[in-house]
Structure 1
Amino acid sequence: MSIVLETKACESCAKSKRKCGKEKPRCHRCASRNLECSYPLARPGSFVLLQEDSPSTCESQTTTSPAALRNHTSDEISSPTLLGTPDLWDPSGLSEPQNVPPYSNAVLKRFHKTIQANLADWVYKGATNFIHKQLYMFRRPRCVQDAQGSLALYLARTDETEDAVFRTLDDRADQLLTDEGKHNTTSSLDTFGHLSRIHSLLTYQIIGLLDGDIHLRAKAEKRIDTLEAWIQQMMESLRFASSLLSGSGGNNTYAIINVLGLEEIVWQAWIFTESLRRTWVTVEGLHATYNALRRGWASCSAGMLLTARQGLWDAGSRYAWAEIVTGKDLWVMDGRHTEILFSLAMPDEVDGFTKMCMEISYGQERMKNWEAGVVC
């Protein structure tokens, strides 16, 4: 039987009876006051992973390691300096993936259809399961406008207009690469700019790789390395921004809070961070599954943490979001290690994006058993 360790408040905050944000290596209160910040040894939390002690009627038992689930509290997820907490978004610190059942072509193809349907929601609903509805509310780069407009044109195509639409998609994708060619270093864009251009190119890539048109696919295959490079540059940009934020002790963030309010800043920070993480997973998942179908094998990428709790992504306001966050386990976990949710949660408690990751890892049959109440 394994356990997850629960982080306690730092000794300075505990002694002063002040709320501790539990940031590492120094909490915000200690950093802003230049106080010594040290944490006591962690004690076992209330969450217990049932493994060999728990019987299962499924062929594959839950073998997820404790490190797979980061038992972050609502205070940590609701920190205004969320981007200054690298273990919430940096894949480099995650463990190696556990063994999973062999993939089937049917599951891979179903995953591709799900990605296509999710992308179409950007036109029909103003959001996808990796682009939050609020993400571009205040800042909407030209490349994002072009990509969403091109997607709308693609979805409205007819047999008579298809060739013209495909030429337009080609031109827009080529123009994006030309425009972004000057941003070939990490520091030439802020992290939001990196994420925006990735969303734009990812739109053209999903269409190109999965439509079935030979020309679109050939062009999209040539852009795979570019998208991977942009992903790496975005993560480097985020690490740099995080180091600056940690070095400033969060002073700049708290100055902004005084103007915009804590709840709004916290919600927007989570929206950006979760959109970034889901985008990373979508890109890596698209490339891995495409290569698996094309070549018969694919390399396994690093993992990325996701927030699995249902309702957070779809919350229509910061008030609705805060209500879900307060007092609940948010299930922040490595997207490759979601097997624990079969025993931890009911299907309607888990976010749809997380369930998509679970299906690609553990198969449609096991998902159906879980939804039917069969012990897994």
Structure 2
Amino acid sequence: MTDSAPPKRLACIPCTKAKRKCSKQTPSCHRCKDKHIVCRYPAPRIAPPYDLVFSQDGAVSVIPTPSDGNPLPTPPSQLGTADALQNPWFLSPSSWTIDHKTGPIPSQIYFSDEALTYFIGQLQVWLKQWTTEGRCPFIHSQLWRIHLPESVQDAFTALSSYHSKTPATEKMVLRIIETRVNNLVGGQNPDNVGDFGVVMLDPACHLARTQALLIYKIIRLFDGDIRARAQAEKNIDTLALWARQLWQSAGLGLTANHHKDLVNRSNPDPVGTQLRTDGSLSCTWQAWIFSESIRRTYLAATLTEAVYMTLKQGWAPCPGGIIVSCGAGLWDAPSAFAWMNHYQSNPVNTIRCVDGEQLFSSARASDVDEFCHATMIVSYGLERFERWCNEKI
């Protein structure tokens, strides 16, 4: 495509929101190119609405949007609903790619002391929240509502004991946790590595065991007890392996379900639907819960490992960028309709975790939730985050 602007093209969406002059060029206007953000142009006002997204190689993608420029399901009352709910973005194979390109975040991450302290504190707060509220930013309240895996049950009871321990019972509680970890890891086939290890379990089993091991890992790495930390270090590679296998399992699950019949509407729980939808709003929401739980668990596991490695050696390898839902209110939505309403009204709903500079320049801190806040702080530093909180777009 040429570098000149087509006739009658409107200003791009980021420039319009920022009330800045737009050069109206493709694949990116001057302002978006300078700020390293995705340049989107609004389509002509013809139903159904959509955005034109120009990639750096000149290719054009047409992305349906409700009314706020987000590539997510449209509400039931609008045209194109059936296709949008049948083929949501989070069930697209392309949304499960990991971006390992070197961008604003280098291949080796050097976390600041303030960011490390904040993120570790948030992990501990989230575990406490799970035992008191039945949810936290990486365990959804609806995820295990129908079926609670035994590994998750063990993690919950061990964590509850940990939070109620006294100086007299502290050693006993840590020994109980050590036994739970040994049982969890020992119960897995040690030969289940690579592709074979991925296909031996379905995504729900991968998710349950990874969440359980992550919970134990957070407790033991950052408790302060020397023995607990030493024992946890023995399994740090196991958590990394399980997180990778969880992610790979999701990709295989999408491929396997591509040619299968749609799920029965009478079985709408997340474990039953996993990474499928029958096109209904309720089923699509449940599929999103399962999908987003995988994304957040994977990201929490990889960041926990990176933070601990930084504490030991001063740096950690960048785990790459994945796409997560970050819009305020989405994760805590109590129903499918509330979830959809947030998607319609939110100015931003998704982010690839290595594209934080784009989020800094096009959204406010209040537009995204606390999980996004934590990942932004650990990736870009507490000072940059606080500056963002005080900026006006």
Q: What pairs with 1:81-120 in structure 2 (closer than 5 Å)?
A: 84-91=91-98, 95-99=101-105, 103-120=111-128
1:54-105 Cα deviation digits (max 9, x unpaired): 69xxxxx95456679x9523348744666641222332x5643324795312
Partner-residue secondary structure (3-state), 2:189:
helix
2:151–2:212 contact (8 Å) kept in structure 1: yes
For the residues of structure 1 that align with 2:314 and 2:387, how far apart are their CA atoms?
28
Question: 1:187 Cα shift?
Answer: 1.6
Partner-residue secondary structure (3-state), 2:212:
helix
Q: 2:301 corresponds to which residue?
A: 283
Q: 1:218 corresponds to which residue?
A: 230
For the residues of structure 2 that align with 1:62 and 1:158, how far apart are their CA atoms?
52
Which of 283, 292, 301 is equivalent to 2:319?
301
Partner-residue secondary structure (3-state), 2:13:
strand
1:78–1:267 contact (8 Å) kept in structure 2: no
Which of 248, 261, 264 is equivalent to 1:252?
261
Q: 1:188 corresponds to which residue?
A: 200
Which of 118, 133, 137 is equivalent to 1:129?
137
Amino acid at match of 2:364: M
> Which segment is superposed worse, 106-115 or 270-279?
106-115
1:347–1:370 contact (8 Å) kept in structure 2: yes
For the residues of structure 2 that align with 1:127 and 1:45, how far apart are their CA atoms?
42
Amino acid at match of 2:207: L
Which of 178, 181, 185 is equivalent to 1:177?
185
Q: 2:247 corresponds to which residue?
A: 235
How many residues are paired up?
323
Q: Return closer, same or farther for 1:259/1:281 CA change in 2, 3 Å cut-off.
A: closer
Q: What pairs with 1:54-73 in structure 2 (closer than 5 Å)?
A: 62-64=35-37, 72-73=71-72
1:32-56 Cα deviation digits (max 9, x unpaired): xxxxxxxxxxx9995337899669x
Q: Return closer, same or farther for 1:186/1:241 CA change in 2, 3 Å cut-off.
A: same
Amino acid at match of 1:97: G
Q: Return closer, same or farther for 1:288/1:182 CA change in 2, 3 Å cut-off.
A: closer
For the residues of structure 1 that align with 2:97 and 2:318, how far apart are their CA atoms?
16
Amino acid at match of 2:363: A
Question: 1:257 Cα shift?
Answer: 3.7
CA RMSD in angstroms, aligned pairs only: 3.1
Q: 2:217 corresponds to which residue?
A: 205
Q: Which fold has the larger relative contact order, with Cα–Cα distance below 8 Å and residues 6 or more apart in sequence?
A: 1
Report the TM-score, using the length of structure 1 for normalisation.
0.77
1:267–1:321 contact (8 Å) kept in structure 2: yes
Question: 1:183 Cα shift?
Answer: 8.1
Q: Return closer, same or farther for 1:97/1:124 CA change in 2, 3 Å cut-off.
A: farther
1:104-128 Cα deviation digits (max 9, x unpaired): 1221121111111112111011111
1:347–1:371 contact (8 Å) kept in structure 2: yes
For the residues of structure 1 that align with 2:201 and 2:391, how far apart are their CA atoms?
48
1:80–1:265 contact (8 Å) kept in structure 2: no
Q: What pairs with 1:348-359 in structure 2 (closer than 5 Å)?
A: 348-359=366-377
1:192-213 Cα deviation digits (max 9, x unpaired): 1100000111111000111111
For the residues of structure 2 that align with 1:347 and 1:264, how far apart are their CA atoms?
29
Report the TM-score, using the length of structure 2 for normalisation.
0.74
Partner-residue secondary structure (3-state), 1:122:
helix
For the residues of structure 1 that align with 2:266 and 2:37, how far apart are their CA atoms?
42
Question: 1:326 Cα shift?
Answer: 3.2
Partner-residue secondary structure (3-state), 1:326:
helix
Give % identity: 31
> Which segment is superposed worse, 318-327 or 160-169?
318-327
For the residues of structure 2 that align with 1:213 and 1:83, how far apart are their CA atoms?
40
Amino acid at match of 2:128: A
Partner-residue secondary structure (3-state), 1:135:
coil
Q: 2:73 corresponds to which residue?
A: 74
Q: Return closer, same or farther for 1:356/1:131 CA change in 2, 3 Å cut-off.
A: same
For the residues of structure 1 that align with 2:228 and 2:265, how far apart are their CA atoms?
46
For the residues of structure 1 that align with 2:286 and 2:191, how far apart are their CA atoms?
25
Amino acid at match of 1:74: P
Which of 164, 167, 179 is equivalent to 1:159?
167
Question: 1:319 Cα shift?
Answer: 1.8
